[in-house]
Structure 1
Amino acid sequence: MAITAHLFAVTIDCPDPIRLAKFYQQFLGGQLRSTNPNFVVLTSDHDIRLDFQRVANHQPPPWPGSSAPRRLHLDFSVDDLEQAEQHLLGFGATLASHQPGGERFRVFLDPAGHPFCVATAGAAAVPAE
């Protein structure tokens, strides 16, 4: 018998869940729920829930270094890449020094050091060959 499963949340380890959840809320919108110093939930009507969990020994993954593997990163699509970049930098993101996507997408680091990518909807719909 097959099991039907649906991804409903991605949990992000970080040193300050409230701060990081507010960063992503500024970018994505949505509602903060279950707000406490150790665990915060960001929900919206359209996306998978993002959970932020305090980890005392958090170390940001290297970008693009190979000293430790990245476990995962988030990808977001936007209408205007330049406008998104300006907003993200204003919210506290950092533009990563290594940009492997050319004009297709941009890599940023969130305030906890996690890399994430932002692409236009067209670039997001068609993976690079």
Structure 2
Amino acid sequence: MPAQRKLSATTLDRPDPPALAAFYQRATGLEPYPECDADFAGLNDGDGLLPGFQRVDDYRALHGPDRIVPRQFHLDFDFDFDFDVDDLDEAETRLLELRAGRPPYQPRPNRRRVLLDPAGHPLCPVAKG
């Protein structure tokens, strides 16, 4: 029988991991991972997946659609705020208030919004349904 595998963590590079963890904690409501320091911070999602943030001193963020730094991956979230996530305008406003950025290119604005976290990683609030 093949070994059972389960994704246990995703880790984003950042020059200041605690700051990016704080952004995602406010954006998602997830609890902070207890073993955090200046080099690594994370969040507990309750299902065993650890969103983590690690220090990379020479980190370079993605810059716009010209992709000076190539995108390696992006994150999609069904965000659960204190309001109805079906309202993408409100989800986008909330993330922008938390210092997310908004690139000009929006491929499917009625279904998802492409935003950038404070470190420049793409993240997308997605409409339910």
Q: TM-score range by the shorter chain?
A: 0.7 to 0.9
Identity of aligned residues (%): 39
Q: How far is 1:63 from its partner?
A: 3.5
Q: Report the equivalent of 1:119.
A: 126
TM-score normalised over the length of structure 1:
0.86
Name 1:65's counterpart in structure 2.
66
Code of the aligned partner of 2:59:
H
Is 2:43 the counterpart of 1:53?
Answer: no
Asked if the contact 2:60–2:69 (Cα under 8 Å) also holds between the matched residues in 1, the reply is no
| 3-state SS, counterpart of residue 114 of structure 2 | strand
TM superposition shift of 1:69 = 2.6
Letter matched to residue 48 of structure 1: L
**Where in structure 2 are there 5+ consecutive unaligned residues?**
80-84
Q: Is the 8 A contact 1:62 1:70 kept in 2?
A: no
Q: Report the alpha carbon displacement of residue 55 of structure 1 after superposing the two structures with TM.
A: 0.1
- The residue aligned with 1:127 is none
Query: Which structure shows the bigger proportion of residues in helix conformation?
Result: 1
Task: Give the match for residue 77 of structure 1.
Answer: 78
How far, CA to CA, are the matches of 2:37 and 2:67 in structure 1?
34
Distance 1:14 1:111 in 2: 9
- Alignment partner, residue 21 of structure 2: 21
Deviating beyond 6 angstroms after TM superposition, the runs of 4 or more aligned structure 1 residues are none
Which structure has the highest strand share of the two?
A: 1
Aligned-residue Cα RMSD (Å) equals: 1.6
Instruction: State the 1:68 CA deviation.
Output: 4.0
1:72 maps to a residue whose letter is F
Give 2:82's aligned residue: none
Equivalence for 1:9: 9
Residue identity in the other structure for 1:44: D
